[in-house]
Amino acid sequence: MLIERKVLRTAKIKRHREVRQKRPVVHLGICVGNYYQEAEVNLVDRSNFKYPLLIGRSFMRDRLLIDPSAQFTLEPVCGEQPSVE
């Protein structure tokens, strides 16, 4: 799937014991179960990783409760959302 978005800014990511990395940041709509929210997402090639996207604590704070013993318990049911420009 290919999605195109306007780059909002460039983020400097500090990685443990590595050189800082510059990544483009875009606005993206994310659906978890029936919860939909638009968020800023920094882009990096994750083709060699198990998960294509990591969702952070700030996205979930006061909205989602996580059970670390469970996996893939929700299907996205947000329906069609307006495109983020």
What is the pLDDT averaged over residues 69-85? 76
Give the max Cα distance, the chain.
Answer: 42
Question: Cα 49 to the chain's mean position, in Å?
Answer: 14
pLDDT at 31 over 70: yes
Which tens digit of pLDDT belongs to each residue from 45-54?
A: 999 999 888 8
The whole-model pTM stands at 0.74
Q: Which amino acid is at 36?
A: Y
Cβ atoms of residues 13 and 21 within 8 Å = yes
- Residue ranges of alpha helices (H) inside 6-80 are 57-60
